[in-house]
């Protein structure tokens, strides 16, 4: 049967085709591109006879052939019987981490035609378009072929608002059914899932968009730069599934058993939750968000227990979650909204099994009769309207008499001179206040951001300034022998300034490199005489270091970086340094000021042992986050990535510096020398590529 479609019947919203045209141009140039699909069972290929008969695969093949580009990659993130609300919680993990250049979205039969799904659909769309400014998006409206029902009306509001091209099976294929040009049985068995021929027609309809794009002249389209303000309350733009690996969210568990069986792929979607067999089982979560839902299995292997869910202790208004599914097509991953539009923050979500068909021996607790199935709580989903973005910073470099040229040459910082000593990568200190490089805070100083947007740092007044500072230091020559005071001494003697605890991760060091950490004086008297008499060789303790070493410098520790060493320093946000000795060097014809008496005041006697001072992290396991050090002021981590790493550090915010290589953090391209902050509530970040990162938190 040969069917042809009119473009006007297929494309119900043309939108802005700039990103699609750009995608087509890259495809023609044989660039490596990835095409991704997210949706329900139709996208998954349900009712097609093979994976390559599904509409998604056919569209992908059409793109490869049309642009004669065999290197285009295919990602299918379809999961049957799931809607855009669940997609909000899984789009990063299931799709965006593969860095798609073009994304198709198919939820118009799984979402209902209700405002709730306008909001969840918007949350999904915003996550996709926020992920990368050049991503191309096409919206697909599937339809029930008996009733013509779908959520197109709600979804089109989003399509128009974001000027996204969208294609409809209702105004094309379904319309032909109405006119008698096609029979339902030609294209579908169940009036929902297309058969192979139905999938082919769907692909034909979708590919009309590419016909249109290819008919446009290069440069005839205008780029769309701004993402508009949300149309809805936008409460699903950030969404997290709490599975059993996030045990920190559970405040009580009586009887819910974690399901630790292995998950085999994205459609193996009942995994990583908890099983309940018995009435009275309880599990209580404390999670952050505005909107909350429970994800659970409804099974055809009836009966299964019934669970009641409560939000914030409202026991009058429990929500019933029935584990039994009165159908025969299979188990369903059900997503039930428990609360919407609560104030952003921590909320208590509680589940109690109220009815069970499984008999348990009260003495041995063994199952006597297992007639049905356990209840499977798959996850608690917490969503909110806080749009997170990684805060990328433009650092400040300093000129120092001991500095070199590596910050310019190896790290590509845009500074002149061969005396570049320090790059203040993540700093809100007045002597080197970083500037936000991109995104909605572009151009702001980090100090302003910290003051004006405390919610980005979960700072409820406890910090009056950004507490940390990350630097890269290139010592071409030796730095002066110095010491820093602690908070108490600095507060009293330096106008309320903070003291300075610091640590070093050695990025590079010549052979037989040493640095100064500690001294050899046994008593305060010996210390004073060594310093006053200038017996520097007796006084200074040099220790050998190599690339990958970590050195913690407590306040009161005499220290100096020696020539040839390149390192990353994490420190308290302070610039109070007491110089003990400067090798009698001259700067502009003068010696730099020394602070001998203050130094003697604060130097710890005797010094910490060498073994306690240097730790080794050169060859840590790849794709693994390693905590190098933890003290009162900071935690410092390192990771070498050659594939992928998930970062999920429990902290208000995380400072990230790329010290080697390049890759992506949640789709943002990053390279050696880049510095950024993952703000409060950012959640899990996925790092991919070939790179080394050093992270620190308060």
**What residues act catalytically?**
579
What is the number of residues in the chain? 698
Q: How far apart are the first and last CA of the chain?
A: 66
Q: How many CA atoms lie within 13 A of 305 on its CB side?
A: 26
**Per-residue burial over 569-598, b = 16 or more CB atoms within 10 Å of its CB, e = otherwise:** bbbbbbbbebbbbbeeeeeeeeeeebbeeb
Using omega within 30 degrees of 0 as the cis cutoff, is the peptide bond preceding 606 cis?
yes
255: left (phi over 0), alpha (psi -120 to 50) or beta: left
Burial class from Cβ neighbours inside 10 Å (0-12, 13-18, 19+) for residue 503 reads buried
CA distance readout (Å), 34 to 43, 57, 104, 688: 16, 13, 11, 15
Distance of CA 50 to the CA centre of its chain: 34
The SS3 call for residue 87 is: helix
Distance of CA 139 to the CA centre of its chain: 24
Residues 6+ apart with CB under 8 A from 579: 480, 481, 482, 592, 593, 594, 595, 599
> Is residue 52 a contact partner of residue 241, using CB atoms and an 8 Å limit?
no
Q: How many CA atoms lie within 13 A of 357 on its CB side?
A: 15
The Cα–Cα gap between 153 and 170 comes to 11
In DSSP terms, 688 is beta-bridged to 644, 664
Phi and psi for 409 in degrees, rounded to 5? Answer: -80, -45
Burial class from Cβ neighbours inside 10 Å (0-12, 13-18, 19+) for residue 240 reads buried
Q: How many CA atoms lie within 13 A of 430 on its CB side?
A: 2
CA distance readout (Å), 70 to 54, 64, 590: 19, 6, 67
Query: Of 466, 440, 437, 438, which Cα lies nearest the Cα of 451?
Result: 466
State the DSSP code for 304: -
Residues 6+ apart with CB under 8 A from 364: none
Tokens of 220: 């005839």
> Is residue 379 a contact partner of residue 273, using CB atoms and an 8 Å limit?
yes
């Amino acid at each position: 049967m040969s069917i042809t479609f009119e473009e006007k019947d297929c494309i119900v919203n043309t939108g802005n085709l700039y990103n699609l045209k750009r995608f087509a141009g890259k495809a023609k140039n044989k660039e490596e591109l990835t095409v991704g699909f997210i949706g329900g069972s139709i996208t998954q290929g349900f009712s097609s006879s093979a994976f390559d008969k599904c509409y998604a695969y056919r569209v992908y093949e059409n793109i490869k052939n049309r642009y004669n580009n065999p290197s285009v990659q295919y990602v299918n993130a379809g999961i049957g019987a799931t809607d855009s609300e669940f997609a909000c919680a899984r789009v990063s993990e299931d799709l965006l981490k593969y860095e798609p250049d073009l994304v198709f979205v198919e939820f118009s039969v799984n979402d209902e035609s209700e405002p709730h799904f306008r909001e969840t659909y918007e949350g999904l769309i915003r996550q996709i378009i926020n992920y990368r400014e050049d991503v191309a998006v096409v919206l697909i409206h599937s339809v029930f072929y008996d009733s013509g029902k779908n959520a197109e009306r709600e979804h089109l509001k989003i399509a128009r608002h974001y000027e996204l091209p969208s294609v409809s099976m209702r105004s094309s294929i379904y319309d032909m059914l109405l006119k008698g040009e096609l029979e339902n049985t030609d294209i579908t068995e169940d009036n929902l899932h297309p058969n192979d021929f139905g999938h082919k027609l769907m692909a034909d309809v979708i590919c009309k968009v590419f016909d249109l794009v290819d008919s446009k002249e290069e440069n005839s389209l205008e780029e769309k730069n701004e993402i508009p303000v949300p149309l809805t309350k936008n409460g699903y733009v950030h969404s997290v599934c709490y599975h059993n690996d996030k045990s920190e969210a559970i405040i009580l568990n009586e009887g819910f058993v974690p399901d630790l069986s292995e998950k085999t792929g994205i459609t193996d979607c009942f995994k990583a939750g908890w099983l309940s067999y018995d009435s009275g089982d309880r599990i209580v979560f404390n999670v952050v968000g505005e909107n909350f839902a429970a994800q659970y299995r409804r099974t055809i292997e009836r009966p299964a227990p019934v669970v009641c869910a409560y939000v914030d202790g409202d026991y009058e208004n429990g929500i019933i979650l029935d584990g039994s599914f009165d159908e025969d097509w299979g188990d369903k991953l059900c997503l039930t909204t428990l609360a919407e539009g609560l104030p952003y923050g921590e909320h208590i979500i509680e589940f109690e099994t109220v009815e069970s068909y499984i008999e348990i021996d009260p003495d041995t607790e063994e199952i006597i009769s297992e007639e049905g199935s356990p209840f499977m709580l798959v996850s608690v989903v917490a969503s909110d309207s806080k749009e997170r973005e990684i805060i990328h910073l433009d650092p400040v470099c300093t000129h120092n008499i001991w500095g070199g040229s590596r910050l310019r040459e190896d790290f590509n910082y845009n500074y002149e001179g061969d005396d570049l000593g320090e790059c203040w990568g993540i700093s809100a200190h007045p002597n080197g206040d970083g500037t936000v490089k991109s995104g909605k805070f572009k151009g702001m100083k980090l100090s302003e951001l910290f003051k004006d947007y405390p919610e980005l740092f979960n700072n409820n007044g406890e910090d009056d300034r950004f507490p940390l500072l990350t630097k890269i230091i290139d010592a071409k020559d030796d730095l002066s022998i110095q010491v820093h005071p602690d908070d108490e001494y600095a507060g009293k003697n330096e106008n309320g300034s903070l003291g300075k605890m610091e640590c070093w991760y050695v990025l590079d060091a010549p052979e037989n490199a040493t640095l100064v950490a500690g001294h050899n004086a046994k008593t305060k008297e010996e210390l004073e005489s060594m310093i006053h008499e200038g017996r520097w060789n007796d006084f200074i303790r040099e220790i050998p270091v190599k690339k990958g070493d970590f050195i913690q410098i407590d306040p009161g520790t005499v220290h100096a970086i020696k020539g040839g060493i390149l390192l990353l320093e994490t420190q308290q946000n302070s610039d109070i340094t007491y110089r003990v000795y400067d090798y009698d060097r001259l700067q502009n014809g003068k010696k730099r000021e020394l602070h001998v008496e203050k130094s003697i005041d604060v130097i710890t006697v005797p010094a910490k042992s060498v073994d306690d001072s240097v730790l080794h992290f050169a060859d840590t396991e790849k794709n693994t986050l390693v905590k190098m050090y933890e003290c009162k002021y900071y935690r410092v981590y390192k990771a070498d990535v050659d594939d992928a790493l998930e970062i999920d550090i429990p902290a208000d915010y995380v400072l990230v510096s790329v010290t080697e290589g390049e890759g992506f953090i949640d789709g943002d391209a990053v390279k050696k020398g880049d510095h950024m902050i993952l703000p409060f509530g950012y959640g899990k970040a996925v790092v991919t590529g070939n790179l080394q990162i050093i992270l620190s938190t308060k």
